Structure 1
Amino acid sequence: MTLRSLAANSPVRHAHWQALGLSEEDLAKPKIAVVNSSSELAVCYAHLDGVAKQVKEAIRAAGGVPFEVRTTAPSDFITGAARQGSYILAGRDLIPNDIEAQVEAALLDGMVCLTSCDKTPPGHLMAAMRMNIPTILVIGGYQASGMIDGDHVDIEDLFSGGVRERLGGAMKHSVDAMTKQAVRGPGVCAGMATANTMHCVVEALGMCVAGSAPVRANSDKMFAYAREAGARIVEMVNEGLTPRQIMTEGAFRNAAAMVLAVSGSINAIKHLQAVAVEGGLDIDLFQIWEDMGRVVPTLAAVRPSGPRRIEEFEDAGGARAMMKQLESLLDAEVIVASGKTLADDLSEVTVADDEVIRPLANPISEGPSIAILKGSLAPESAVVKLGIRDGSRPEAFSGPARVFETTAQAMEAIASGTVQKGDVLVLRGQGLKGGPAMGGGASNILFAIDAAGLAKDVAFVTDGQLSGLCLKGLTIAEVAPEGAVGGPIGLVRDGDPVEIDVAARRIDVMVPAEELAARPGPGDEFAVPAAGWLGMYRRDVQEMGTGAVLIDMANTRGEPKW
């Protein structure tokens, strides 16, 4: 008997579980964690206790023993209130550690993760790869939204409207009215923002019951998939089907194709890279993105990239139908959570509406919808979301830099008219270390630019991240290296010429390298002080090339040491 088996079957452990009501027969069954991030703070998670109940019943019926455990529950609009949003991304990395400290520490056999707001899917996938025990995710679904005088109103409208009101812009509906209608029930933001993008990524990776994403929260369909996942996890434990068998390089290429085809959130790139790093998978997501971006067009136009609502995308067949349309570009031999190949899983799939989810022969626009840039301003990488490439947004731009150290400074300059047509707004100090955790509110600047009528006439460059709800003008985010660690973006001065050329995948500051290097960099003071968890995050977070993981995985490749 192995040391793991001895620990898992110790008499004192059995005594504790018998005191909780487990029988002798139960002690021999697969023991499954039901990972729940239910929270009364945020509507994103408010319904998950009901989902957990049905998953646990399905596990018991399938011959397993469920144990519900809890994790932190990051929600952009709730836990993003303090420290200029620094807890948003930092919360992602608490999740795999929460899970490890309970599920691995207890030597459980498998887990079902109830995945909802946009930091939980990557957190769950990171934990799955790290521990490599049988895992399946349950998609928590998206929230209902409302109507005002016949107009659909959702969280994107409210986010944009709030910024527009602050700048004195014209409003069709008041912010107060939109606040009452934008969110009409539990679940994640409507639209193809980061949460629904990541839900589609989960499906593209093969880590959920096929057909699960996206889905209306608390719908009969959502609960049916939850029960199916509860039954399937027991089979996966018995089969020994683990995340590293499913999430191979081919699966990551499939996930990149999905995000590009739905014109999803740029945040998916760093999340996918972090998942790969946690599993010791030595892949370059930036290069994968470039490779897939050359061949994958945009096949769906869901808000914020286009006019379609997420309900239309789901009703047309959702992520599974999109994979059917992409099948010739995918690695169809990968194994998915069903234990079958993707090809087998897609063999009987049909697309309910091929105007909503287009075939490759009839794309909405040529790709890529997201591209990776490099250059003297971003020697490692930068990300630009192009969305539907219909000529409405510039893809080349040159102009003088207008440099800001804080969101407040930039917002004031936009509101006062200091920012002029032809300018390149540069917001720095918002990165992984500087933010920390890419807080700082860069997304607000995009809506401010739009409200000021400058979306087509200025460019915006930042080392921060953007909400998946944002798609305004020519915006380059996640510039690496970030300013706080000596990246060139920290050396740019007002008036420096900046050139952006998406076709060439370039972003450059047109200053001689010697002159740039001779300039003093940022000081030791950060705009957002960070103690406690944020201080630990700032100290330990790795560069963007790792997906912003917290540990140096270079010496921990391969199987976990436990």
Structure 2
Amino acid sequence: MTESQLRSVLPRTSPRWYTRRTQWRQLGLRDADLDKPKIAVVNSSSKLSPCFSHLDDIADRAVASITAAGGVGFEIRTVAPTDFIMSAGREGGFVLGSRDLIAHDIEAVVDGALLDGMVCLASCDKTTPGQLMAAARTDVPTLIVSCGFQSCGVMPDGAAVDIEEVFLRAGHLARGRISADELCAMSDRAITGPGVCTGMGTANTMHLAAEALGMTVPGHAPVAAGSASMHAAVERSGAVILDAVAQGRTPRRVMTPAAFRNAVRAVQAVSGSINAVKHLDAVARECGADVDVVEEFRRSADIVRPLTAVRPNGPSSIEDFVAAGGTLAVLAALEDLLDRDAPLVVGGTWRDVLPGREPDPGGAIGSRDRPRGTRATIRLLRGSLAPGHAIVKLSVTEDRPLTFRGPAQVFTSAPEALEAIAAGGVEAGSVLVLRGYGPVGTPGMGMASNVAFALDGAGLAGRVALVTDGQFSGLVNTGIVVGEVTPEGVGTAPLALVTDGDEIAVDVEAGTVDLLVPQAELAARAAAVVPPDDGGTGRGWLATFAAGYQRRYGTPTVDGSRVAP
């Protein structure tokens, strides 16, 4: 692409050229700079969480790299969502809603200013998918740069501890299985440096997925925050993005249906976060890619086995995973299951990169003939309770029963469910149904992890099943935990019609979750539903998010179909 073809280079007869020149000269740019590629460095810096606290220095380095490569870098900012902080308000609805807000933030600036490309600094859970959604939407050449995972500590007895362990053990507090002092001692040691959560949670899963999609420098993710490897990728970013601009390697050319299938198989192979399902689906929809991500996860469960067992899925650390070769080693181990002709933002295809990257025997990454587990850990269910789909996350070394049947105990708020668990009001053998936590019901999709951990803390994991339309943090759940039921429990969707005592059956191996109530009875309940009337008083971002979701997907009905708005 020549300078005259850059969309950011406006005609010098245009008033906008002169007004841009006026503003940019005050920033130190000269006339020659106005003819160069202009690249957004997308930064979600925030001092609210260690996930983002180190990004300003990285942004400066990325801008310098772009300058050195012959372009002009402009740092732009977005919202910085983090589950552990932002899930405190509105039932956690802002967590997923902020993913879409990131995409809107980026679109407004990059398209509004007619910038030529983006270097996106990926950090906590929602930044990577939000950045990828914006990349697909704007379709300007984009490079994702993983900004690394945090360092964690050890307890006096030598046991490793991280924030996810603190989160899990906090569910034991109410039953006296751990003391507040013990929890604080863990908390004091759980994070020892900036970056995203360690382990194979959502952040590291999405960094890996971005690489498998071909949107990063290969061999880059996951990476330790502040490491030489992280800084090397940042320093290379300017040359990579300017070459992508020159060659027209746009996101929709890189993120093909084959790329999404590759990413799904990589996520399954590392026993990644279940949140990758909805995130990759959202990115694929923005791409207009002819691929059903949910169905790809279902199919991949038949052919991909876990190749690694990184905390919280098993005993390996994320550092062990990186030392064994990281994402590239996983992709090389899966090579015969991948489309090796999928293009990369750096140029070429996986055929150029994967040879010689196979994991070493005995490391944290196995091979297809030496997997770490016997069954896929991300399982997609369907049935009369979830005509769309629902998700179950298993651990790598799964030994719990994979079937459950019992009467429903229905709750419409997490605090109500937590109170009942603490008071002994949730009975062993029952199915705890938590609804109203989907994208419309919360709105924004609420967090249900605390209910799952409270069941574990009460000794009810495996003795009580949990079924919800809410989302989880990406951690391994104990017992039978079914999340993100679609259609969600609003209107006349099946989940909305469940009443106390209804029999629910879950069979993870068969991939089913069913409401054992006659269809005629459900139809009668649906006929009695009175549609809610908020009088159009919804305000704020979450109301906008929910309205947009309904416009896109319609209103669910008792048989799982949707009525167009």
Tell me which interval the TM-score lies in, with the shorter structure as reference length. over 0.9
Distance 1:173-1:202 versus aligned 2 partners, 3 A rule: farther
2:516: which partner in 1?
510
CA 1:544/1:418 → structure 2, altered by over 3 Å: closer, same or farther?
farther
Matches within 5 A, 1:77-476: 77-149=84-156, 150-170=158-178, 174-352=182-360, 354-391=362-399, 393-439=400-446, 441-476=447-482
Post-superposition shift, 1:436?
A: 1.1
| Counterpart contact for 2:330–2:358, Cα < 8 Å | no
Kept after mapping to 2: 8 A contact 1:145/1:183: yes
Which amino acid in structure 1 is aligned with residue 463 of structure 2? Answer: D
Measured against aligned partners, the alpha-carbon deviations of 1:157-195 in whole angstroms (never above 9, x if no partner) come to 111122211332245971111121111111111111111
Deviation at 1:95, TM superposition (A): 0.6
Query: Runs of 5+ in structure 1 lacking a partner?
Result: 547-562
Q: 1:30/1:496 Cα in 2 relative to 1: closer, same or farther (>3 Å)? A: same
Shift of 1:206: 0.8
Q: Does structure 2 retain, via aligned residues, the 8 Å contact 1:436–1:530?
A: no
Secondary structure of 2:262's counterpart equals helix
Deviation at 1:7, TM superposition (A): 4.1
2:125 and 2:202 in contact (8 A); partners too: yes
Q: Deviation of residue 250 (structure 1)? A: 0.6
TM-score between the two structures when normalised by the length of structure 2: 0.92
The correspondence for 1:23, drawn from 30, 42, 51, is 30
User: Structure 2 CA distance, aligned partners of 1:116 and 1:161?
Assistant: 25
Measured in 2, the distance between the counterparts of 1:530 and 1:231 equals: 46
Distance 1:119 1:3, change over 3 A: closer
Counterpart-to-counterpart distance in 2, 1:245 and 1:545:
26
2:505 is the counterpart of 1:499? yes
Q: Distance in 1 between matches of 2:442 and 2:297?
A: 25
1:340-398 per-residue CA deviation (whole Å, 9 max, x = no partner) reads 1112111232424544111000111123211111111011111111232532x221111
Checking the alignment, whether the CA contact within 8 Å between 2:373 and 2:397 is kept in structure 1 is: yes
Q: Secondary structure at the match of 1:141?
A: coil
CA distance in 1, matches of 2:193, 2:504: 44
Contact 1:145–1:182 (8 Å) recurs in 2: yes
Specify whether residues 408 and 172 from structure 1 end up closer, same or farther in structure 2 by C-alpha distance, changes over 3 A only. closer
Tell me, what secondary structure is at the counterpart of 2:408?
strand
Separation of aligned partners in 2, 1:352 and 1:47: 33
CA contact (8 A) 2:155 2:189 kept: yes
Which amino acid letter does the alignment assign opposite residue 252 of structure 2? R
Q: Provide the rounded CA distance (Å) in 1 between the counterparts of 2:5 and 2:355.
A: 41
Query: Is 1:263–1:301's contact at 8 Å kept on the other side of the alignment?
Result: yes
Moved more, 339-348 or 91-100: 339-348
Give the partner amino acid of 1:111.
M
The answer to whether the Cα contact below 8 Å between 2:169 and 2:178 also exists between their aligned partners in 1 is no
Aligned-residue identity in percent:
49
Change (3 A) 1:470 1:444: farther
CA distance in 2, matches of 1:97, 1:170: 43
The code of the aligned residue for 1:317 comes to G
What are structure 2's unaligned runs of at least 5 residues? 555-565
Q: Is the 8 A contact 2:6 2:37 kept in 1?
A: no
Alpha-carbon spacing, 1:192–1:544, altered in 2? closer, same or farther (3 Å): farther
In structure 1, the partner of 2:561 is none
TM-superposed deviation, 1:484 = 1.6
RMSD: 2.0
AA aligned opposite 2:150: Q
Tell me the amino acid that sits aligned with residue 541 of structure 1: Y
Q: Which amino acid aligns with 1:462?
A: T
How far the C-alpha of 1:542 sits from its partner, in A, is 4.3
Contact 2:309/2:372 (CA < 8 Å) preserved in 1? yes
Secondary structure of 1:265's counterpart equals coil
Deviations 1:119-153 (A, max 9, x none): 00000000000011110011011111111111211
| Matched position secondary structure for 1:483 | coil
What is the aligned partner in structure 1 of residue 52 from structure 2?
45
- Report the Cα offset of residue 501 of structure 1: 1.3
Distance 1:172 1:308 in 2: 28
Aligned length: 542
1:35 is paired with a residue of what secondary structure?
strand
Code of the aligned partner of 2:184: D
Which amino acid in structure 1 is aligned with residue 97 of structure 2? A
Q: For residues 105 and 32 of structure 2, what CA distance do their matches in structure 1 show?
A: 29
Q: Deviations over 1:211-245 (max 9, x none)?
A: 11111111111111111122211111111111111
Shift of 1:499: 0.8
Is the Cα–Cα contact under 8 Å of residues 208 and 229 in structure 1 kept in the other structure? no
> How far apart, CA to CA, are the structure 2 residues paired with 1:316 and 1:3?
41
2-structure distance, mates of 1:544, 1:474? 31
Q: 2:19 aligns with which of 9, 12, 27?
A: 12
Name the TM-score, length of structure 1 as normaliser: 0.93
Does the aligned pair in 2 maintain the 1:406–1:427 contact within 8 Å? yes
